[in-house]
Amino acid sequence: MSRDLVVILTALNLEYQAVRRRLAGPQVHRHERGTRFEVGTVQGTSCRVALGLTNKGNHSAAVIAERAIQEFSPVAVLFVGVAGALWDTARLGDVVMATHVYAYHGGTSEDDGLKARPRVWEAEHGISQLGSHLARVNDWADDLPARGRAPQVRFGAIAAGEVVQNSRISAEAQWIRQHYNDALAIEMEAAGVAQAGHLNGAPVAIIRGISDRADGTKTSAKDRDGQPRAAANAAAFAARLAAELVAEQEQIAMSHIDGVPTADGFKKYVSNTAHNSTVGIMAGSVKESSVHVYADAKVMGPADLVAELDGFREQLKRHHVAGALDDDTYQEALADLGSAHGAAQEATPESSKRATMALKRLRGLIAEVPELVAGLAPLVVAAGEL
């Protein structure tokens, strides 16, 4: 993971420019398949941002989001732009940060009508907590005219579909009202980005400025007024969130260098040299903890890595049997491990990259099991060195 970089994606050029204005020194970064990003730094911070344009729709957003995750291994992916408000719950110019995302077009058509088949992705807990904190601090917005109203940040569901919604009485509007009535806003990309983040183990935040009410009053003339303000507010909050996410990663990294206070008031220190590592624990005791030490680690060849992956499969099985991994997580973990296993056997530069990405996805799946994460860490490194 790149501890100082956050990916920010937008669907419209208007939204892209709103984010780009907050970056210092943006430089073009071209993906091997032609997708262009610009990498710059949030002004006044050490946070790097890889900015990309997805165009409209959940499908294209999912493809570009996954491409960005594999290219940059970011701290998080933020999708930033404008949206329509639902049920008058947010005012024009306000910012909505998704607590969860609905893909509202799923369903099955039967003789007695259309039945909903909802899909939903919840926001990562840490990002939600940080977003709530920044909303409480409330110092993220740009300076406003004396008579202007400061935008507010609201938290709730966002509905993502494949059409521009501009009616309160259409069949689409009634469908959303019936099945997704807790949604605060509606747009066309969040579900694709959320799924890409889920499949790749990358935290995702959806941040939308309210530009219209999706109620039949949306017009091109009103968009020319409402969209720039909404996009600017979303970009301001996203830039602050990105900077705070990177600052948290820096604090975590420093804690491993400077020592972390334990519950008993002692500190654990770790120092590393190029060829060996020394670990010292200054404490009366270590309770309910596991210490994993990798000293004089050798470079694994393809056969070594394949053997280690076979052993890791047994670790996954043991934790599944013990209840640490549920059935769905276990099956997805096995699939990612199988992909890495097959790529390691090929032993080519391209397969090395595939193995690394599969193991990074696996790391996201098992993030709640520290023992497995620690055991996987040297395998990720070895895959990258094949």
Nearest of 198, 213, 206 to residue 157 by alpha carbon: 206
Residue 52 forms part of a structural domain: yes
List pLDDT tens digits, range 191-228: 999 999 999 999 999 999 999 887 777 777 777 778 99
Residue 202 DSSP SS3: coil
**Res 153: pLDDT:** 95
CA distance 19 to 17: 5
Which residue is it, tokens 């989001």?
65
- Structurally, the chain folds into a number of domains equal to 2
Nearest of 329, 352, 326 to residue 339 by alpha carbon: 352
Confidence of residue 301 (pLDDT cuts 50, 70, 90): confident
Q: Whole-model pTM?
A: 0.67
Residue 287 forms part of a structural domain: no
Nearest of 189, 124, 195 to residue 158 by alpha carbon: 189
* CATH number, domain with residue 121: 3.40.50.1580
Q: Decide which of 301 and 203 is more confident.
A: 203
Q: Across residues 320-333, what is the average pLDDT?
A: 89
Residue 346's domain spans which residues?
Answer: 297-384
Confidence of residue 67 (pLDDT cuts 50, 70, 90): very high
Residue 371 forms part of a structural domain: yes
CA distance 351 to 386: 9
Same domain for 248 and 301, yes or no, is no
**Res 254: pLDDT:** 62
CA distance 51 to 29: 9
CA distance 114 to 118: 12
List pLDDT tens digits, range 139-175: 898 765 545 678 999 999 999 988 888 788 788 888 8
Same domain for 159 and 48, yes or no, is yes
Same domain for 363 and 244, yes or no, is no
Domain boundary among the residues 252, 287, 321 is at 252
Residue 261 structure tokens: 């206070």
Concatenating the DSSP letter of every residue in 40-100 gives EEETTSS-EEEEEE--SSHHHHHHHHHHHHHHH--S-EEEEEEEEESTT-S-TT-EEEEEE
Same domain for 30 and 103, yes or no, is yes
Same domain for 233 and 379, yes or no, is no
Same domain for 32 and 180, yes or no, is yes
Q: Give the C-alpha distances (Å, rounded to integers) separating 48 from 206, 245, 334, 355.
A: 19, 11, 33, 26
